[in-house]
Amino acid sequence: MGSHPTFIMRNVVIIGSGCAGNTAAIYSARARLSPLVIIGHEAGGQLSITSIVENFPGFPEGVDGPQLVENMKQQAIHFGADYIHGSVEEVDFSKRPFRLKVAGVWVETRTVIIASGASARWLGIPGEEQFIAKGYSSCATCDGFFFRNKKIMVVGGGDSAMEEANFLTRFGESVTLVHRRDQFRASKIMVDRVMNNPKITMILNTAVESIIPNETGDVVGVVLKNLVTGETKNQDVDGLFVAIGHIPNTKPFLGQIDTDDEGYIVGKGGARTNIPGVFHAGDVEDRIYRQAITASGAGCKAAIESERFLEAEGH
Ligand code: NAP
């Protein structure tokens, strides 16, 4: 990290240090643009809370998620990127240079890449953080494989929950879908697929009240509460997957960057946002794919667009 990176006018400030932000940093740094990366509140993004990643190309044996994202960061630093801890508190994109407030200090920059991601919504049950990567997951694509011939539970009633329940039947001995109501947000076709899958059992009007761990802290069961009768019961579970939505990390940009009614950035083609010189990358805009590789690809695109934008302006 440079001595006082925050006081220097930057060419590129990248908000977020997940796959999208780090890849944007590698490309911007190799273009000699000295990017400044604001690490944000979830350093390393969603990969930092997974275990092994087996679908990132180039790693036939799989790769440790936190290590992969740390390697990306080191690669960016090697080419001259600066990283600072802290989150963006406020931005002023109304005029250029753009201004961002991080840990109480205003940073000025010619371009911005918003790669602040989306955070999985978790259940909010007691002590849940300690079970992440120990049987409690928000990503079936990432972690389903670890539950071959095991008892899997999926929580949620939207399309994601239906899709994940179906997908997880490839691995699990059984899949139980738990939903807090008896009506689904998911499309009928997705619900029908779940209902017609003999490996899936549905439990409706029910919430997961707590997780039961074994002596090594792995998930071995849950306490379920019927929300109509109030009754509780224990059920054996090896893998508990939540699919109850994501929350895009766009709070500081609301009102300046166009977002949809859930807060996701509305892209304007390529990596552009409604403000020329402010670009997006990764899950902060992408509610469909949400993969490490697609986020990295988006980070690459945003960096190239920011580089061309600067070049067109003679920087
Ligand atoms: P969603 O549609 O917002 O559904 C979230 C579900 O989680 C709802 O059923 C909700 O219950 C439940 N939920 C929320 N908070 C909860 C909590 N604290 N405890 C228990 N349950 C909770 O989210 P999504 O399924 O992630 O889908 C997001 C968007 O992506 C949707 O537009 C969806 O159509 C789309 N998508 C499409 C596909 C596809 O077409 N292949 C696949 C995945 C996602 P309530 O219903 O009671 O509120």
Q: How confident is the model at residue 23 (pLDDT cuts 50, 70, 90)?
A: very high
Express each pLDDT in 52-102 by its tens digit.
788 899 999 999 999 999 999 999 999 999 999 999 999 999 999 999 999
Q: Give buried/exposed letters for 32-57 (b at 16+ CB in 10 A, else e).
A: ebbbbbbbbebbbbbbbbbbbbeebe
Average pLDDT over residues 248-270: 97
Shortest-distance Cα residue to atom 11 of ligand 1: 157
Strand partners of residue 201 = 176
Handedness of CA 166, 167, 173, 176 (dihedral sign): negative
* Residue whose token pair is 């005029």: 95
Q: Are 31 and 130 in contact (CB under 8 A)?
A: no
Label residue 16 exposed, middle or buried (CB < 10 Å: 0-12, 13-18, 19+). Answer: buried
Q: Is the CB of 181 under 6 A from ligand 1?
A: yes
Catalytic residue among 82, 139, 238, 283: 139
Whether 242 lines ligand 1, by a CB cut-off of 6 Å, is no
Cβ of 158 below 6 Å from ligand 1: yes
Residue 43 tokens read as 């350093």
Given a cut of 70, whether residue 126 has pLDDT beyond it is: yes
pLDDT band at 7 (very low <50, low <70, confident <90, very high): low
Burial (CB < 10 A; 0-12, 13-18, 19+), residue 23, is buried
Token pair, residue 54, equals 């087996």
∠ CA 149-123-140, nearest 5°, is 35
Catalytic residue among 142, 238, 283, 286: 142
What pLDDT is stored for residue 1 in this prediction? 44
Per-residue pLDDT at 3: 42
pTM for this prediction: 0.78
The verdict on the CB of residue 161 being under 6 Å from ligand 1 is yes
Structural domains in the chain plus CATH codes: 5-119+246-312 (3.50.50.60), 122-242 (3.50.50.60)
Whole-number Cα distances in Å, 69 to 56, 78, 116, 180:
11, 14, 14, 35
Q: What is the pLDDT of residues 280-297, one digit of tens each?
A: 999 999 988 989 999 999
DSSP 3-state percent helix, strand, coil across the chain (nearest 5): 30, 30, 40
Q: Which residues contact 26 (CB under 8 A, 6 or more apart)?
A: 72, 75, 76, 79, 81, 303
